[in-house]
């Protein structure tokens, strides 16, 4: 196993609770959420939920037109986050094009709004007339990775992760492995998702969305709570820059955190029903990769989507691997479930917690569901805590599980 240490020298994000580290840390410390009622979803037949968490302050007009002609909103969000990460890390245009920099980036799929426009033209008229030559490029599954590679002129390896809710956490994990193994000197990694009513609809028809609090968005979602009634969908993007500790120190870069371990596996059992064994297996793989025991983890940022099956399985897995002493909470209670972006967004949240030494509570966790494992749930208000190592867990349809362990340097 390589002893190369992999550190984070840049980050950027846009999220329902803010588009900078200071903004999101303030939101988590003051329990400010980004859940909104979506009145224009009233026109969608049979859609029961009316809650979502959009990003504000990121528009296509903010970017040079020539550089974004093949970008839909999901890629625009990824460019917003990546610009800030690349600038923070001090990566020059020449270096980005040198071949020494690779890219790992994911989303659940491409731009759904652009796919909708494409489909309305083609299937509404049974004709290709009116389509632009760039239409497909905006909604292809790897639109974020492909567009970012062109945007920065990246000539190193490009890893595209299209794995639903672990898209960005897998991207960060694979980027970590690329740097650790010496395959790439530097990696730009993360994920993005744009908001569309069909994203809510996919979960809605499975009876997995929150519907009881449509008129009270502040009361949902409710991870691990006895009154939870499902998830809320959101949007956003997050990007981190990874490089070796030695290179970062040699060039005088500021280091914001370290990737200590990564684990990913598959349940191999059911495409939508989560497995506590699979979840726990990913956590143990991350611990083994980091060469750490369970007592070394100071906090767990749970996947915590507020679905019944997910919350119960995840809490069971966490108890088995880490025991009942480690503080746990779900930041999706603030941002909703940002799908392919969540692992990246939550990674940056964890960096902020390491910086500011606090653990945010799970919002709306008033009464812990008795069917959830007895963990050290953080609720009510923030806890001050000296954090050195955080585990960030994410799980996806297809039984794909990820666990990242982050540490202060």
Tell me how far apart the alpha carbons of residues 185 and 195 are, in angstroms, rounded to a whole number. Answer: 34
Please indicate whether residue 303 is annotated as part of the active site: yes
Q: How far is CA 261 from the centre of its chain?
A: 17
| Whether residue 142 lies in the annotated active site | no
CB 272 within 8 A of CB 35: no
Query: How far apart are alpha carbons 264 and 261 in whole angstroms?
Result: 10
Farthest-apart Cα atoms in the chain, separation: 62
Pairing mode of beta strands 51-53, 36-37: antiparallel
Backbone φ and ψ for 190, nearest 5 degrees, come out as 160, -155
SS (H, E, C) the chain: CCCCCEEEEEEEEEECCECCHHHHHHHHHHCCCCCEECHHHHHCCCCCCCEEECCCCCCHHHCCHHHCCCCCHHHHHHHHHHHHHHHHHCCCHHHHCCCCEEEEEECCCCCHHHHHHHHHHHHHHCCCCCCCCCHHHHHCCCHHHHHHHHHHCCCCCEEEECCHHHHHHHHHHHHHHHHHCCCCCEEEEEEEECCCHHHHHHHHCCCCECCCCCCCHHHCCCCCECCCCCECEECEEEEEEEEEHHHHHHCCCCCCEEEEEEEEEECCCCCCCCCHHHHHHHHHHHHHHHCCCHHHCCEEECCCCCCHHHHHHHHHHHHHHHCCCCEEECCHHHHCECHHHHHHHHHHHHHHHHHHCEECCCCCCCCECCCCCCCEECCCCCEECCCCEEEEEEEECCCEEEEEEEECC
> Exactly one of 109, 142, 196, 337 is catalytic; which is it?
337
CA distance 195 to 34: 13
Given 33, 196, 199, 303, the catalytic residue: 303
Catalytic annotation, pick one of 144, 162, 165, 342: 165
Residues noted as catalytic:
165, 303, 337
């Amino acid at each position: 196993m390589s002893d190369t240490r992999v550190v984070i020298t840049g980050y950027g994000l846009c999220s329902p609770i803010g588009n900078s580290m200071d903004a999101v840390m303030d939101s988590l410390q003051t329990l400010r959420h980004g859940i909104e009622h979506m009145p224009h979803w009233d026109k969608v037949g049979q859609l029961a939920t009316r809650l979502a968490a959009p990003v504000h302050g990121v528009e296509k007009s903010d970017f040079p037109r020539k550089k974004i002609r093949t970008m839909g909103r999901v890629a625009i969000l990824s460019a917003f986050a990546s610009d800030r990460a690349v600038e923070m890390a001090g990566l020059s245009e020449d270096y980005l094009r040198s071949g020494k920099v690779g890219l790992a980036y994911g989303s659940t799929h491409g731009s759904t709004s652009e796919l909708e426009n494409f489909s309305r033209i083609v299937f509404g008229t049974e004709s290709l007339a009116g389509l632009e030559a760039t239409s497909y490029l905006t909604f292809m599954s790897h639109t974020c990775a492909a567009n970012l590679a062109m945007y920065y002129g990246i000539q190193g390896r490009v890893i595209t992760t299209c794995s639903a809710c672990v898209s960005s956490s897998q991207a960060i994990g694979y980027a970590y492995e690329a740097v650790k193994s010496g395959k790439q000197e530097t990696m730009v990694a993360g994920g993005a998702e744009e908001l569309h009513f069909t994203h809510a609809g996919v979960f809605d028809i499975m009876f997995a969305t929150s519907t009881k609090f449509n008129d009270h968005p502040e009361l949902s979602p409710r991870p691990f709570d006895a009154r939870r009634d499902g998830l809320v969908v959101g949007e956003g993007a997050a990007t981190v820059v990874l490089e070796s500790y030695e290179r970062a120190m040699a060039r005088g870069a500021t280091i914001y955190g370290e990737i200590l371990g990564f684990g990913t596996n598959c349940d191999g059992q059911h495409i939508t029903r989560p497995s506590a064994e699979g979840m726990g297996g990913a956590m143990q793989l991350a611990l083994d990769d980091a060469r750490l025991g369970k007592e070394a983890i100071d906090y767990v940022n749970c996947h915590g989507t507020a679905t019944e099956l997910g919350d119960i399985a995840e809490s069971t897995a966490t108890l088995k691997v880490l025991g009942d002493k480690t503080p746990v909470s779900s930041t999706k209670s603030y941002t909703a479930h940002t799908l392919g972006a969540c692992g990246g967004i939550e990674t940056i949240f964890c960096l902020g917690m390491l910086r500011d030494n606090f653990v945010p509570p799970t919002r709306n966790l008033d009464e812990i569901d008795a069917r959830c494992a007895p963990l050290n749930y953080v609720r009510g208000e923030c806890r001050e805590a000296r954090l050195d190592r955080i585990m960030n867990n994410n799980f996806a349809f297809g039984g794909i599980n990820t666990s990242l362990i982050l540490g202060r340097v």
